[in-house]
Copies of this chain bind each other. A is one copy, B any other.
C-alpha cells in the first residue's frame, strides 16, 4: 500500500532555523527611520521588540541560528507536523502531478503561527518582560501568542481586527481561554484607534489598524514588548522549521519539489516552507518554482509597487522596503482575514525583485471552491487563508494534466478552518462574492506612501 504520511521522530527534528538573509544574492534594504531616513539598528528596534528578535531581524551573516532548548521543548509538543501525499485530491483532479502538503493545521493552535509565538515569548521572558501585546486578523496569530504567553508565564493583550472578530467569534474565546485580554480594533483604548474611528466610524479594522494600537500599547506600557505574527524577518526565520522538516520528509518520500506554494499575508508561512528549499536554488543549482498565493482583493505582490512604506495604518512603525498597496489600503471583508495586509515582508519583497519567486492572485470564490474540494477529498477543512494555497496548487496540477508533466507540487496547509465555519456556510448558501480592486483604487492608496 502506498505511504501517505511522512513524519519525523523527535530525534530527527531540525535544531536550528534557516536564515535566508545570509544566502541572498542581494540583501534586503534596511528598515529606516521615517524622519531621519537613517537605517535602524538593533537598539532602535529593541524598545519595541524583544532584543534577540531584533538581532535576528538584522542578521545577514549566520545561515543557521540554533533554536533554544526551551523553545525546542515546546516545539516537541506538536512537531514534526506530517507531510502528506494528497492522493485523493490527485485522483479527483485526474492529474499526473504528485501533490504533497505540509499539514500545519494539526498544531494545537490550529495554524503555523505558534512556531514563532513560542520563541518571541521565550525571548521576551528571558529579558525580563512581563507583558506582551500584538495584533491579529483572523485570530490564528493571536491565539498562538495567547498560548505561548501562557506557557512562558507572560500576560498578553491582543488587538483583533474588528471585522474578523465578528466573523469568527470563537477565536477570541480561544484567546481568552488561554488567558489573553482581547480588544476589537480599531478601539477607543488607544490614540491611534481613536484617530481612525474619528476619521471613519465604521472602519472594519485591518491588520494595519491593529498593529498601530498594539505598538502604541507596547511603547506606553512599562515592561511590555510588542510581538508580530508575520512581515518581519525574524518571524519568517522561526517559521523555517516548517520547510526544514519538509525537506527531510520529502527525502523520505524520495522526491524533491518542482513547485513550492503557500498563501501570502505578510509572508511568514510562505517563507517558512519556501526558504529552506530556495536555499538550494541559490546555492545548489536547483530550479524549484516558488509561488505566493495572495487574495485578488489584496494584491500587493502582483499589483503593488516596491516602495518604502509604513507597516501600519497610523504610521507608527519604521519605514520598510516592501511591495505595498499603500498603508492606507483598506482590504475588502474577505474571510481570509490573515491575508488582509497591505504590504509584503522585506525579504520577500527583495526576492520578488530578484526573480526568485512570484505571486499569483486568487479570487475568493476560487479559494472556497478549492477548499471544499480539499475537504471532501482529504478530509481536512482548510482555513480560508490556506485555501488560497490549495487553489494555486490546483492550478498547477491542472497545468500538469494538460501538459502531461508529473511535477512534484508541495504546498503549506497553514491552518484548519474549523473556526471559520460561518464562511463555509455563506459559501454553500451562495452568499459570497469576489472583490477585484480597481487600478484607480490602488493608485489612490499608493499616494499614502511617504515620498
Contact = CB atoms under 8 A, between A and B. Distances in A.
B1 A76 contact: yes
A184 interface: no
A424 B173 contact: yes
B176 A428 contact: yes
B177 A421 contact: yes
Contact of A4 (B7, B10, B178): B10
A261 to B, nearest CB: 20
A122 to B, nearest CB: 14
Interface in A254-272: none
A77 B379 contact: yes
A170 B418 CA distance: 8
Interface stretch (A106-114, A308-316, A327-335, A386-394): A106-114
A73 interface: yes
A72 to B, nearest CB: 7
A365 interface: no
Contacts of A114: 379
B421 A170 contact: yes
A422 interface: yes
Interface string A83-120: 01000100000000000000000101110001000000
A282 interface: no
A5 B82 CA distance: 13
Given A9-B7, A418-B419, A421-B170, A177 B379 contact: no
A51 to B, nearest CB: 26
Contact of A418 (B73, B76, B110): B110
Nearest to A429: B176
Given A5-B76, A108-B380, A176-B424, 7 more contacts: A4-B10, A78-B379, A106-B106, A170-B170, A174-B381, A177-B372, A177-B428
